[in-house]
Amino acid sequence: MQNENNNQMSFSDLLNTEILANFNTDISLTQISITMLLSFLIGLFIYTLYKRIFSGVLYSKNFNITLVGLSMITSLVIMAIGSNLILSLGMVGALSIVRFRTPIKDPTDLVFLFWALASGIITGAGFYSLAILGSIIVGVVLFVFMKKSKFETPYLFIVSFNGETTEQNIYEQIKKTVNRYDIKQKSVTASETEITFEVRLKEKEPGFVNSITNIQGVENAVLLSYNGDYVQ
């Protein structure tokens, strides 16, 4: 019975020793410098890419700067957690009660937010090659798909006019200047007709609206950018 207790105590001591061995209490100044510099460079890469491919209505510079800070702060936290067992347990408890109330309106912002967070975690853990290679791959994928979707951005084109002849001329002009169009809504009153189109413009078509307003009988024409969700 005593031997069994000794074996259990030995296993417990061994387990505690293995756990504590995974925590490095000494963090060199070189390691801190490399980690912080790399997390800053990856954060700067995320900042530049977000600014380059942003396709929303209002660009938030403050949110973009937050991505850089988030990457660096997360790497600091991970380094601290990896060096102290008590601190790591306290950090887990603190994060479990933190509630983030900032709304994320664009799903793309959420992707960049998690990217910055993940890069900070990986860099802080010391996996520098994984952080660099992973960020390059993620950046290339996002750049390709976001640029493609930006090129194919749909627009709502609302035109008001009088006369059937005018309507035919509008259709002919739209066919000449857009890649594709769909009629979303058409309303007819005694005084005028209003049609809402979804159009996908050809590259570099700055005179599209003017070409429609120059048609005789057209009273008003408005071109609006939207995200593809249309509610009648």
* Helix spans in 22-60 (H): 29-53
Both tokens assigned to 187? 């309303």
- The ranges assigned to domains in the chain are 2-151, 155-225
Regarding the domain with residue range 155-225, which homologous superfamily does it belong to in the CATH classification?
ACT-like. Chain A, domain 2 (3.30.70.1150)
Q: What is the largest CA-CA distance in the chain?
A: 104
45, 139 in Cβ contact below 8 A?
A: yes
88, 93, 94, 97 alpha-carbon torsion, rounded to 10°: 150
Reported as a single tens digit per residue, the pLDDT across 21-43 is 555 556 788 888 999 999 999 99
Q: In terms of pLDDT, which residue wins out, 60 or 8?
A: 60
Three-state DSSP class for residue 2: helix
In the predicted model, what is the mean pLDDT of residues 214-226? 84
Reported as a single tens digit per residue, the pLDDT across 97-143 is 455 555 666 778 888 988 998 998 899 888 999 999 999 999 999 88
Q: What pLDDT was estimated at residue 115?
A: 92
